[in-house]
Structure 1
Amino acid sequence: MKYGKIALALMVLITSIGSPAYARGADDTYKVALLLWGGTDGFIAQMTAYGYVEGENITYLYVNLQDVPPEDIQTEYEKQIQAMIDDGVDVFVTETDTDAVNLRNLVGTEIPIVFARSDDPVATGAVADLVTPGGNITGTVTNRPHERRLQLLTEIKPSTKKIYYIISTYALGAEATLQQVQAVAEELGVEVIPFTAAMSPATFSVDPASWTELIQNMPEDIDWVFMTPFVFLDPQETAELMALSVERGFGLAYIIDQPVPGYLISYGPSLAASSGQAAQTVDRILRGASPAELPVQTAENFLTINLEAAAAINMTIPEAILRQANMIVRPGYFEALATPTPGS
């Protein structure tokens, strides 16, 4: 997946709306570092709506690790971050609170850092409190999507008994989220079987040895595989998981609203929308607000149902679930995306 491939280049490293009244003065150019490996379009579009025009009153800075050997990524990343600091960066924007905490360890506590998504920023140590973050980090928290996703799995398949819950070693605060999910599972009479997958800095995906262990430990009678943040698969791992899903008849559940081939359900925040919320926070900081006093915002969750994936494992989606879906993926959707349009 493009999302995961871009993401892992960084994995190894670690409320008012309106025209901006610039804290520095109308002629100054702000410098905002975008460490958003899930895409920057939503963030930049919202900043543009607030009156920030690239090349006029704002400059966006990026980390480029495209051709860097895996063994040199950490050093090159730190070098580029330091160059941003030397260049006078005003705000760093990260994909998640895990990224923000790792970045704070590198840049210190003076430069504001805004994260676009988090499951529990208090648990990760990104903020002291959701209302009063108390440091140089603030951002947007997801609205407990993992718990609701678990509930949705039992509504889609009422006979659900076992869920294989995959955790990444990179994700801070994963244990706190797991405890919340297990509490809901206990109420629903469902067994959540966690497996912690090690990420490989060489392949930017689950380490081969860890992947083998993940498959070997997968119960034969699971109903679902439940992905969590920072679990990324290489093409071979993805193909093997898809084949097992069809062979054994279990569904796959993804972490954001983005439709993904083979994944029956995707439930969570929108990358574009939550990045837009991060832009709102950055706007306020550029106008003089302190991140220590900016409450963490809450992202909206969205539901995507993939009927093509459901058909592959002979699962019928209840009408009540389809009515809740923000997006329904029908057979042929992904093939159409891959087919060039005339003149393209």
Structure 2
Amino acid sequence: MKRRQLLTLLVGAATARPIRSFAQQSVKRPVLGFLVAGSQASHGAWVTTFAQRLSELGWADGRNVRIEYKWAAGDVQKTEEFAGDFVRQKVDVIVTSAYGVVAAKQATSTIPIVFAAYGDAVANGFAASLSRPGGNVTGLSIQPGELSSKRLELLREAIPSVRRLAALVNINYAGLKQELAGMRVASARMNIELNVIEIATANDIEPAMAKLSGHTDALYVYSEPLTNANKSQIIAATASAKIPTIFAFREFVDAGGLLSYGPNFSDLFSRAAEYTDKILRGATPADMPIQQPVKFDLIINLRAAKSLGVSISDSVLMRADEVLE
């Protein structure tokens, strides 16, 4: 009898241990660290798009995955601090964009990093090639050099009288080198005088905008988290000075800017969720090709044009994806 009891206990112990272990494993959920380069006002809709697409792919926040959000609002120091926080927490994936990619890569070479929008990852040393990145970083590239040239061409076609152009530039912007190079080539080709105005923090914006009145025919805003988070201030200043503006994000035009041309960022953040899904299911960033935008939007604000006293050429209006009237 005692022998039977001993055998029963041994068998019970052997079978119970895996069950407890499985229960513990099933409770553990992967953690995503979403390092948002902007603010809730500037990036909230894009982040929501990411979360919705991730849910469609089977990952519901709070059920089988946990998403932790940190909002840097274009602040470089906060971005770096938040990246370090995620590494210390040992999150499973870091999702980010813009300077967040730089901060995350500086903080870790092992945790997978998915970028929803970044410049040239190969030129900046974060990937060996677009087809095979080879490291812990992958995502969506936004081709800053090519697009800056295209925007300048659109601006000149929309408003042929532009001869002097100011460019508001965040010196911490990850894609600055490539975008500025494209601007210089295009402005020289079109015989436009280019004046680069540098900023680094939100406190630099007001004095920078004060330099524009009477010294430029239009303003090109390098659209990134810092300028996006402070777009209302920028647009109010240019409206008061009657200066036409061109941006990369349609959100600037929705807020009162004149023109925008660039990738559809909602689509980019949705596609970033697809990268994240694959990594959560076992894929590695090293083998996941960096992709480029497939949707580009030209948005024109005729209300802003009217208040500025400018007329947009019909050739550009006909190509617009959306005209705000």
TM interval, shorter chain, is 0.7 to 0.9
1:276 alignment partner, SS class: helix
TM superposition shift of 1:82: 4.5
2:48 aligns with 41
C-alpha change, 1:26 and 1:328, in structure 2 (3 Å) is farther
Partners of 2:35 and 2:72 within 8 A in 1: no
TM superposition shift of 1:114: 0.8
Partners of 1:206 and 1:234 within 8 A in 2: no
Letter in 2 for 1:167: V
2:299 alignment partner, SS class: strand
Rg bigger for which structure? 2
1:105 aligns with 106
1:327 aligns with 322
Q: Using the alignment, how far apart are the partners of 2:249 and 2:71 within structure 1? A: 25
TM superposition shift of 1:319: 2.5
1:6 aligns with none
1:207 aligns with 204
TM-score of the superposed pair, with normalisation by structure 1 = 0.74
Q: Using the alignment, how far apart are the partners of 1:239 and 1:83 within structure 2? A: 41
Partners of 1:33 and 1:92 within 8 A in 2: yes
Residue 242 of structure 2 is aligned to residue 256 of structure 1: no
Q: Using the alignment, how far apart are the partners of 1:221 and 1:73 within structure 2? A: 34
- Identity among equivalent positions (%) equals 26
1:335 aligns with none
1:67-86 matched pairs, under 5 angstroms:
73=78, 77=82, 80-82=85-87, 84-85=89-90
Encode CA deviations 1:21-53: one digit per residue, 9 max, x unaligned: xxxx99863221112341211111111222222
1:123 alignment partner, SS class: coil
Residue 245 of structure 2 is aligned to residue 240 of structure 1: no
Match of 2:162 among 153, 160, 163: 160
Deviates more, 1:218-227 or 1:229-238: 229-238
TM superposition shift of 1:230: 4.0
C-alpha change, 1:54 and 1:74, in structure 2 (3 Å) is closer
Encode CA deviations 1:131-169: one digit per residue, 9 max, x unaligned: 222211111111433221111101101222221111102
Residue 94 of structure 2 is aligned to residue 92 of structure 1: yes
Letter in 2 for 1:93: V
Q: How many residues align?
A: 286
Q: Using the alignment, how far apart are the partners of 2:81 and 2:127 within structure 1? A: 27
Partners of 2:219 and 2:244 within 8 A in 1: yes
Encode CA deviations 1:213-268: one digit per residue, 9 max, x unaligned: 5533x373522100012442386565333211x2xxx3011221223333100222
Question: CA RMSD of the aligned region, Å?
Answer: 2.9
C-alpha change, 1:26 and 1:295, in structure 2 (3 Å) is farther
Match of 1:301 among 292, 296, 312: 296
Q: Using the alignment, how far apart are the partners of 2:72 and 2:214 within structure 1? A: 40
C-alpha change, 1:53 and 1:178, in structure 2 (3 Å) is same
Q: Using the alignment, how far apart are the partners of 1:169 and 1:221 within structure 2? A: 21
C-alpha change, 1:131 and 1:61, in structure 2 (3 Å) is same
Encode CA deviations 1:78-104: one digit per residue, 9 max, x unaligned: 67424532xxx21100022x2111122
C-alpha change, 1:206 and 1:81, in structure 2 (3 Å) is same
Letter in 2 for 1:295: P
C-alpha change, 1:46 and 1:75, in structure 2 (3 Å) is closer
Partners of 1:168 and 1:196 within 8 A in 2: yes
TM-score of the superposed pair, with normalisation by structure 2 = 0.78
1:99-178 matched pairs, under 5 angstroms:
99-106=100-107, 108-143=108-143, 144-178=146-180
Letter in 2 for 1:207: D
Letter in 2 for 1:290: T
TM superposition shift of 1:304: 1.0
C-alpha change, 1:135 and 1:221, in structure 2 (3 Å) is same
1:14-33 matched pairs, under 5 angstroms:
29-33=29-33
Partners of 1:47 and 1:279 within 8 A in 2: yes
Unaligned runs of 5+ residues in structure 1 are: 1-24, 200-204, 331-344
Partners of 1:166 and 1:231 within 8 A in 2: no
C-alpha change, 1:219 and 1:192, in structure 2 (3 Å) is farther
2:18 aligns with none
Q: Using the alignment, how far apart are the partners of 1:49 and 1:78 within structure 2? A: 27
Partners of 1:109 and 1:136 within 8 A in 2: yes
TM superposition shift of 1:309: 0.7
Encode CA deviations 1:255-293: one digit per residue, 9 max, x unaligned: 212233331002222232110111111122222222122
Letter in 2 for 1:29: R
Partners of 2:97 and 2:117 within 8 A in 1: yes
Q: Using the alignment, how far apart are the partners of 1:122 and 1:282 within structure 2? A: 20
Q: Using the alignment, how far apart are the partners of 1:290 and 1:74 within structure 2? A: 24
Q: Using the alignment, how far apart are the partners of 2:109 and 2:84 within structure 1? A: 18
1:8 aligns with none
Partners of 1:277 and 1:297 within 8 A in 2: no
1:188 aligns with 190
C-alpha change, 1:190 and 1:75, in structure 2 (3 Å) is closer
2:310 aligns with 315
